[in-house]
Structure 1
């Protein structure tokens, strides 16, 4: 039954991927500007411009350009960057490890700290601790990432000089970007964990476990946590795509290499193949996270896969 559910979920990704590719291609080509403008020298004639436009196939109808792009991707060819004049696949391959390293660290940070704070908030009887956690959740849910990044740079990189302002050399260059991306994730995971645990504590089986005299820690970690982890696992899986998407502005602010920096630079140059490749990778990350979350949810709760197959 689970394999059948996974098969249908993977099958559903095909029309979704096609729809996303159409949207990405349309949005990129509707942007004002032209990549040829970044290649022309001062004093170039209209004939020179027309030659470059024809060279890169930009004079073809958008439908033809889209079909050529999709057919090339099926062969593993993302095209060649118009301005950088390198294969897009090579550019993505060079920058993706930096984004994955940052995303993995931010994911681990937001998962561990978020679950811990949510558990403390749901189980503690200390009003001060609970108010602190709830205030942290509210703050993390409202603070913009780019604004927090600038504050962290000002405090810990410029004033205290504990961490580098920019770059990706050494583990210390990861600390501030991870805190920036993970701060909102911690708040989200903590909120979901807190609500899930509080709902689970109201179940009848918890009263029965207390009546049997089981220790509170045993009830929490052996019975409550597995019961409450279903929505938490779903949120964590969705965070996979959200983290990579959120890293776009963070990488740019901290001057880190990665898909985000590559995407912003390509947007400024209107380099269509690079922008399309980066956006497609980010969209695939979101779809992969959604798929992982749905499969994990179905594996943990048979009612989910029975309802959706």
Structure 2
């Protein structure tokens, strides 16, 4: 198991380098100049050139990338051009809000998704199954920002149950968690249902029925356990994607977090901050995939054998 984990970790190194290069190039090819947000009206070209040289923006893209990568490998994400603070401190300040939102949304989508998907598979082709599938279709097609605005209108403005915005207490987390988690719930429920229906057609399940075991016990103890393998893969990917999906939700609910910091920095063309935020999101996806592979390998030894 340890050798499998080491091999998977080594495979992430070239992926990390490729992702860092793509992030750097995309940010620097976006039209706009962060120096324009620093200089005052009436500043001379010489003053702008001095600021450009100060932040190393007068160098070629290759030189800028090499310098940034060297600092990055030493744990230095650079300094924000506009806010003039270390990027690491800005991310450290905002990341806990995004982790709280993403973690609770992931927990919600996992529990509710597996339960609803299991019910749909156990009662296949019933009214319950059709109802669950209709809700899954609705949850996977509704945009998160629209769902967030709808929840604010109903539960905050009309009913007054939850605050409209902010992150003052746990009440302010309820609506954002539901908004982010419902999309993931639909995905997890769909994968769980399909996997359970597929496993239920295997020969060993027929043998269990022939032995006289209760159908519900077979579904919950044997079919669901084998069907969780693809669900684990989806959840591993969701760890990173759910943080990315929280970007728009944080804006809708005016919450602090990595998404709010990213959008603000994009508007200001603050390259170091945008690069740092995007890199954190990319690392979250890679670590989520890595953790998903480890859990899969622990559950199914055949996965470990595929990389030998």
Counterpart Cα distance in 2 of 1:19 and 1:234: 22
Q: Alpha-carbon deviation of 1:126?
A: 7.4
Runs of 4+ in structure 1 displaced over 4 angstroms? none
Report the counterpart of residue 301 of structure 1 in structure 2. 300
Q: Alpha-carbon deviation of 1:293?
A: 1.3
Counterpart Cα distance in 1 of 2:66 and 2:126: 60
Deviations 1:2-28 (A, max 9, x none): 222211111011100000000000000
Unaligned runs of 5+ in 2: none
Report the counterpart of residue 152 of structure 2 in structure 1. 153
Report the counterpart of residue 266 of structure 1 in structure 2. 265
Q: Alpha-carbon deviation of 1:240?
A: 0.2
Deviations 1:81-129 (A, max 9, x none): 0000100000000000000000110000000000000001011267221
Report the counterpart of residue 28 of structure 1 in structure 2. 27
Report the counterpart of residue 6 of structure 2 in structure 1. 7
Unaligned runs of 5+ in 1: none
Report the counterpart of residue 120 of structure 2 in structure 1. 121
Alignment of 1:106-145 (within 5 A): 106-124=105-123, 127-145=126-144
Deviations 1:168-203 (A, max 9, x none): 111111111111111110000000000111111111
Report the counterpart of residue 75 of structure 1 in structure 2. 74
> TM-score, normalised to structure 2's length?
0.97
Counterpart Cα distance in 1 of 2:52 and 2:201: 66
> TM-score, normalised to structure 1's length?
0.97
Deviates more, 1:208-217 or 1:54-63: 208-217
Report the counterpart of residue 178 of structure 2 in structure 1. 179
Matched, 1:64 2:63: yes
Report the counterpart of residue 169 of structure 2 in structure 1. 170
Report the counterpart of residue 206 of structure 1 in structure 2. 205
Deviates more, 1:42-51 or 1:211-220: 211-220
Counterpart Cα distance in 2 of 1:100 and 1:152: 21
* 1:100–1:295 Cα change, 3 Å: same
Q: Alpha-carbon deviation of 1:220?
A: 2.0
In the alignment of these two chains, the number of paired residues is: 308
Alignment root-mean-square deviation, CA: 1.1
